Structure 1
């Protein structure tokens, strides 16, 4: 009799424990995701007490910049009117180091900072050395010639005489290291002496000479402490809420983040918008597809085909004009009137006539589209858009950017 009572009590206790576990399980299913989300929101804010603050301050993820050049095979023939023929050289890979300084928290839920960058050549990752020679357009000569276009004839004659006297040519044969980090050119000293402020630099000239050990300007972004919906969004850049390079308010707007971190919990409806000081404009990437990278689920965001379209093809881009063929964006207004343009590599997503004007270009989406793969949960994005210059196209200098599946930036 006693054993039956104990059995009934044990059964009742087990039943109660089972019910309790079921109730707790149901509560956990409902509450745990909410608790996790709260902790995530708390720790991705830009706040010295958050777990991600030191990561935001000095990004531990390695950045690699892969630089490709177009080597002009037939410079003499080009001067006689033939099509340029190019071959792609590289990659020349650089490790990029970044750290934020001058961090100042403001009263309006924002933080201001300067982010400094430096580059270190990685020969083991590169296909070539910095001592390799590249034949490419003489950017200084072409830039100076374009800047003299609306000057008096007397100045044009003086500049022509200077080109001849100094032995300047339309094409140059320089090492990768010189092209990247600078070389002495007598034209620079002459122009700075007699036409001060015509060139925005003194001394050596190089595509990345001004970027190494420098910053991209003073960013002021929202911390997300008081209003999480605005986390990482840019409030101002160099004290400006919009730039003055373009011809419409929409094109001058500074939208999105600074290009390194976005709000967590992305969905396919999310768009990645960021401001690029190098490109002098905001850009927007849109969701394309989900995938997996080294076991981590990712969302792929790509540049729309209209990113560098001209105003005739895509009217909202009219503010970036004067425009040439669709697929290249004129950025001379923010680059001291130098003949510089933005495009995808090999003129991908551009008017076909551009790629057809240069022998050796083979645009395709697998190699030349601009995209970002991001984990939708809160993590640092391993990239930011970087710009570059090179390759002649109808006498202009092309400035291109693209990110590859490996997370490297190809500059062409």
Structure 2
């Protein structure tokens, strides 16, 4: 009796425990995804109380800019009409630091900021030093010559004499440091003195002089506190909702984010759009594939082939023209009128004629395609490498002797890769809070549901078997055999007769 009573109590405890586990697991399955979304929404918004605010304010990921120059090997021959031959030099690697300041929150769910950047040369990661000499086209001479192409012959003659007096030539031999961060040039001093306003800068001239220890303008973006779907999207840049560099409203529109974070809860149908002040336009990347970075699930986004396509290949880009071959974008309107072009390195994804017109170029996806690996739940980049090339359109200008007999060609100057990957303590914290913990909760809910169902099944089996025993043994407490006269059909044992034994 005591044993059966204890068994019944144990079965009851198992049943109640199983029911609770199953109920808790079912509740977690229903509520955990919603709770995770709420926590992500709370912690990715631009708010001093969010976990990602410090990451947004000062990016903890080490960023590097690797610069590769195209050293012109035959400048004298090019002046006589030969095909340019270049040799890639580098990388010259710089550590890039970014920090937002002048942060100001507004009542319309936006925040304004400036982001200061600085670059520090990394000799141990570089192949060469900033004192290396590179032969490149003289950008100021070629740009000034291009601007004079349709001017009167007298003005061209005066410019030729001025170039000669100042010792200016079509090609220049400068150090990496000078090309990057600036050098003094008598032509620049002359233009600023006698033609003020012709150039948007004063002092030294360098391709990256405006980026070091400076900012890219005043960005105003949505915080996501009131409307999460608009988080990080640019509301205005330098007080503008669109620029006026291009020839169509679509090309002038400022779309996407400032290029560092994107709205959370992405899908393969999502795209990455951002405004780049350096390119003077918005760019849009498209989803390519799923991946994993250091245990963190990612979506890889890449540039579509139409990113720098000309208007005849991709009509929406007509506003960026006048265009040359497809695959390069004319940025002269936002670069003081100089015939500069933006593209992928080595003219990757561009009209093949561009790479064939310059000896020494080898475009390929592995080395020259750009990508961003984004954690789709938070919209935060895990690993990225953005690669772009700057080229100069050069040709002989009749009446300006310094340009010789140069055949028209888009000549690459340099290409650079801005790369960064989350690592160290930041990566571990991100993985623990946004990957490991949700995964643990995900497994716990199904373990609880399975455990509860198993315990309930054990209880049911016990009850069925217990009821079967009761039916076989009769009512609890009764004798196993009834007393009274034997059934007529039950044979009685009798002593065998002597005849049977004989």
Specify the TM-score bucket, using the shorter chain as the normaliser.
over 0.9
Q: Give 5+ residue unaligned stretches, structure 1.
A: none
Of 20-29 and 147-156, the range deviating more from structure 2:
147-156
- Shift in Å at residue 400 of structure 1? 7.2
Contact 1:44/1:378, CA 8 A, preserved across alignment: yes
Of 300-309 and 5-14, the range deviating more from structure 2:
5-14
Of 182-191 and 213-222, the range deviating more from structure 2:
182-191
Match of 2:242 in 1: 242
- Shift in Å at residue 292 of structure 1? 2.7
Match of 1:183 in 2: 183
- The DSSP-based 3-state class of the residue aligned with 1:90 is strand
- The DSSP-based 3-state class of the residue aligned with 1:172 is strand
Q: Quote the Cα distance in structure 2 between the aligned partners of 1:397 and 1:211.
A: 23
- Shift in Å at residue 293 of structure 1? 3.1
Please say if 1:265 is aligned against 2:269.
Answer: no
Contact 2:181/2:209, CA 8 A, preserved across alignment: yes
- Per-residue CA distance 1:208-237 (angstroms, 9 max, x = gap): 111101111111111000011101111111
- The DSSP-based 3-state class of the residue aligned with 2:97 is strand
Please say if 1:76 is aligned against 2:68.
Answer: no
Residue correspondence of structure 1 range 13-412 to structure 2 within 5 A? 13-378=13-378, 380-381=380-381, 389-390=390-391, 394-396=408-410, 398=412, 403=417
Contact 1:207/1:389, CA 8 A, preserved across alignment: no
Contact 1:116/1:216, CA 8 A, preserved across alignment: yes
Q: Quote the Cα distance in structure 1 between the aligned partners of 2:82 and 2:177.
A: 29
Task: Flag the structure with more relative contact order, 1 or 2, with Cα contacts below 8 A and sequence separation at least 6.
Answer: 2
- Shift in Å at residue 372 of structure 1? 1.5
Q: Quote the Cα distance in structure 2 between the aligned partners of 1:404 and 1:144.
A: 30
Of 397-406 and 285-294, the range deviating more from structure 2:
397-406
* TM-score, with structure 1 as normaliser: 0.94
- The DSSP-based 3-state class of the residue aligned with 1:235 is strand
Q: Quote the Cα distance in structure 2 between the aligned partners of 1:404 and 1:51.
A: 26
Of 391-400 and 144-153, the range deviating more from structure 2:
391-400
Contact 2:136/2:171, CA 8 A, preserved across alignment: yes
TM-aligned CA distance change 1:95 to 1:405, over 3 Å? closer
Structure with max Cα Rg = 2
Q: How many residues align?
A: 408
- Shift in Å at residue 401 of structure 1? 6.0
Higher helix share: 2
- Shift in Å at residue 268 of structure 1? 1.1
- Shift in Å at residue 304 of structure 1? 0.8
| C-alpha RMSD of the superposition | 2.1
* TM-score, with structure 2 as normaliser: 0.78
Contact 2:344/2:389, CA 8 A, preserved across alignment: no
Q: Give 5+ residue unaligned stretches, structure 2.
A: 395-407, 423-502
Q: Quote the Cα distance in structure 2 between the aligned partners of 1:174 and 1:275.
A: 32
